[in-house]
């Protein structure tokens, strides 16, 4: 793991966006591409991650503790060249959206899914993403027009925002929940909890596995951090 090699972290700006400097040198991706973010707030949060690296000689740069840096790296590493593939990923996820697949039983779990997920199915329908639901294990076909609406939504996002959107889609297993977070209709942590209803239900019945819970909480915290960028990257 790399060690801290700099003393000062500063925020700067050019015509391509905001960025940070480490001892005066602009931060770049591992592929040596310049990192630019769309707002000063995001740049300040990026700076905070690099400031938080221990300043001692043995201070380690741990990417696991730097989610905004990782997102910025991905967004800066040729996303413009991969937009079509990322848009296709979002469209494909919508075709098997988590909110469409319901449990057939027990009744209390079915009721919990219905109460938690139906409002967001309705929210999406109002925006042209009309998804069918099923309690079968067999995949169902969704309307092409709905999938196209998700693709059009992703297509309309700038590179940094689309990177976040596709990331949230993968974390939640739901294009609908990711869209709701991007549109600030739903808080990222609440969306995460909605996407983990089955895990939380099992934990209520069988108890909490401490190792699994630690992983879940770490991923939730990271998702809250990244989802919180939505207001500043449109």
The pLDDT tens digits for 54-97 are: 876 668 899 999 999 999 999 999 787 899 999 999 999 999 99
Return the closest-CA partner of residue 123 out of 174, 197, 192: 174
Task: Give the chain's domain count.
Answer: 2
- Does residue 40 lie within any of the structural domains? yes
Does one domain contain both 71 and 96?
A: no
State the pTM of this model.
0.94
- Does residue 1 lie within any of the structural domains? no
Does one domain contain both 228 and 142?
A: yes
Q: For 207-217, how does the pLDDT look when each residue is reduced to its tens digit (9 = 90+)?
A: 888 999 999 99
Phi, psi of 189 (to 5 degrees): -70, -40
Q: For 128-186, how does the pLDDT look when each residue is reduced to its tens digit (9 = 90+)?
A: 999 999 999 899 999 999 999 999 999 999 999 999 999 999 999 999 999 999 999 99
Bridge-based pairing of strands 25-26 and 17-22 is antiparallel
């Amino acid at each position: 793991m790399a060690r801290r090699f700099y003393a000062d972290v500063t925020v700067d700006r050019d015509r391509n966006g905001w960025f940070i400097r480490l001892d005066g040198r602009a931060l770049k991706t591992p592929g040596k591409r310049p990192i630019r973010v769309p707002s000063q707030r995001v740049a300040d949060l990026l700076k905070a991650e690099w400031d938080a690296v221990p300043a001692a000689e043995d201070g380690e740069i741990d990417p696991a503790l730097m989610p905004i840096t990782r997102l910025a790296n991905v967004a800066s590493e040729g996303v413009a060249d991969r937009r079509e593939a990322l848009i296709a990923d979002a469209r494909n996820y919508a075709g098997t959206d988590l909110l469409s697949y319901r449990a057939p039983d027990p009744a209390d779990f079915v009721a919990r899914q219905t109460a938690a997920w139906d409002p967001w199915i309705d929210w999406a329908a109002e925006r042209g993403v009309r998804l069918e639901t099923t309690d079968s294990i067999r995949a169902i076909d969704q309307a092409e027009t709905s999938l196209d609406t998700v693709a059009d939504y992703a297509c309309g996002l700038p590179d940094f925002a689309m990177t976040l959107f596709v990331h949230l889609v993968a974390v939640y297993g739901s294009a609908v929940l990711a869209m709701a977070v991007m549109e600030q209709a739903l808080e990222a942590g609440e969306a995460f909890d909605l996407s983990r209803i089955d895990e939380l239900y099992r934990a209520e019945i069988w108890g909490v596995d401490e190792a699994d819970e630690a992983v879940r909480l770490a991923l939730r915290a990271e998702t809250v951090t990244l989802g919180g960028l939505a207001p500043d990257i449109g």
